[in-house]
Amino acid sequence: MGLTPEKETPFIERLPGANYMLTRMDQVINLARSNSLWPLTFGTSCCAIEMMMATGASRHDIARFGAEVARPSPRQADLLIIAGTIVKRMAPRLRTLYEQMAEPRYVIATGACTISGGPFIYQSYTTVRGADEIIPVDVYVPGCPPRPEGLFYGILTLQRMIKQGETVRRPGIRSKPVMSALPPNITMNDIEAEMESLLRQEADIDVEKARKERDWPTGLNH
């Protein structure tokens, strides 16, 4: 089944000396829900480009978290990633799409514009100041646009919230919305330094060591 009990310790308990595992239906359902979030193919503005190309394409690859099955119909989608500036004209349509989604439905707001209106908060005649003026939001992801790892961090936060969240006995009970920023002590310099060290690591080749690793066992060389 592909479950690793060691990683899912709060949910799944292995019976000692047997091939059985004990858990509760709620937790299995939440586990399944959190690992197959189907996002709606919908973007209101430029963050959607980042969402599609940076996180959906290879290298970063949203499929690693089970959220790659983008559905063009809101009836089949679980997750609404609101990406980009929402204008007054689009707001009722966005609300309609949200209402068409089946329960349980989750909402991630990415980028400055969907959190607060962003750079258009003053002196704009048309920008809605934050997605939560229209629909309830579960996770806010800051950035302009958020980096792919920032959006992944938001998806992981949402998965954690789902696993701790509603149960069969108490449907519709959700956690409070959270702001999911990357940890504050990580700066661009850290990331660049790490990438540089990785590049150096790959560029420096220890010839002796590489040859030894390639060598056959004794007697077969030369």
Residue type, 62: I
Q: How many whole angstroms separate alpha carbon 212 and alpha carbon 205? A: 13
Per-position x/- string for 54-93, each x denoting binding to another protein as judged by CB under 8 A, each - no binding: ----------------------------------xx----
Q: How far is CA 183 from CA 28, 142, 151, 187, in A?
A: 29, 12, 13, 9
- Quote the least distance from Cβ 56 to another protein, whole Å: 29
Is 121 or 195 the residue whose CB approaches another protein more closely?
A: 121
Q: What DSSP character marks residue 55?
A: I
CB of 125 to another protein, least distance (A): 4
- If the CB atoms of residues 117 and 150 are measured against another protein, the closer one turns out to be 117
CB distance 67 to 100 below 8 Å: no
Closest distance to another protein from the beta carbon of 88 (Å): 8
Nearer to another protein (CB atom), residue 76 or residue 126: 126
Task: To the nearest 10°, report the CA torsion of 203, 207, 210, 212.
Answer: -170
| Closer residue to another protein, CB minimum distance, 20 or 125 | 125
- Helical ranges in 17-76 per DSSP H: 25-35, 47-49
Among residues 36 and 124, whose Cβ is nearest to another protein? 124
Residues 106 to 145 in contact with another protein, rule: CB under 8 A: 121-126
Smallest gap from residue 122 Cβ to another protein (A): 5
Distance CA 2, CA 6 (A): 12
Contact positions vs another protein (CB under 8 A): 88-89, 121-126
